[in-house]
Structure 1
């Protein structure tokens, strides 16, 4: 027979420190905002050098999964063009720690990485339940990234009548 009273008495007590979690999350958000200008400059520089003026990124998600559906680049004449094969350095805020994680990604990968981070930042859980869909517009001349976001939901309306 095994004595379970000793094992139960020595089991660790889990007491999450929610304020510490919020502080780490705030620090991560601060670092992400600090890294954004350099990430945008690297990406927009590579796009501009390739003659790209607009990049459209569509996404769709539901049922606990979501993905980038397409990444389309266009030149000044609105013709579809290939993204450059160059790799650029992108820095991101880590989940743990205070130093940025730096990685070299192809331009396509950097665009996707940034789109996923913006979705996480603005609409965490965008892929859950009925999900969401939308489009990012990377405007190279204006050096802006715009998100058009559409969230799906189920609605019900109840009525009861007694006559």
Structure 2
């Protein structure tokens, strides 16, 4: 059952990614850079850089076009998928969290991590820059 859920998660993320890229193309977005930072068992998207096809930039995701995006999710207590809709900004942010959790579960734990998700709309791909923070402690007799 666990393997089925993991495969199902990957399929859901791919479908959600496809839907977000479709909405970004329809909204004349060229690229999106979303920065994240997490530590102390919390994490958030901290900064946005959205490049429009006309060469303009916006830094507030709320200024993205108010396009509805279909999203798939698990309804865990009923063990089935559900379909919802969200505005593009919300669907994009949710996708960022999903991609981070899929690639680096626990990215906001302990000392955490930071980085960026780069969406190349024309190519239809996402590149993750991931930087993990660690603490190194050495104890020795001198």
Q: TM-score range by the shorter chain?
A: 0.7 to 0.9
Residues 43-79 of structure 1: per-residue CA shift (max 9 Å, x gap): 1111111111101111111111111112331024542
- Confirm or deny that 1:154 pairs with 2:131: no
Matched, 1:90 2:71: yes
| Equivalent of residue 117 in structure 2, options 126, 136, 140 | 136
Determine the C-alpha separation between the residues in 2 that align with 1:30 and 1:97. Answer: 18
The answer to whether structure 1 residue 51 and structure 2 residue 32 are counterparts is no
**TM-superposition CA deviations, 1:71-129 (whole Å, max 9, x none):** 33102454214411111101123445542221101101011111111121121111111
Match of 1:80 in 2: 57
Distance 2:27 2:11 in 1: 26
Whole-angstrom distance in 2 between the partners of 1:94 and 1:54: 31
Deviation larger for 106-115 or 89-98:
89-98
Counterpart CA distance in 2 for 1:109 and 1:132 is 22
For residues 6-58 of structure 1, give each alpha carbon's deviation from its aligned partner in whole angstroms, at most 9, with x where no partner exists: xxxxxxxxxxxxxxxxx43x222211222233322221111111111101111
Gaps (5+ residues) in structure 2? Answer: none
Structure 2 residue 94 is matched with structure 1 residue 117 = no
Q: TM-score normalized by structure 1?
A: 0.76
| Aligned partner of residue 105 in structure 2, secondary structure | coil
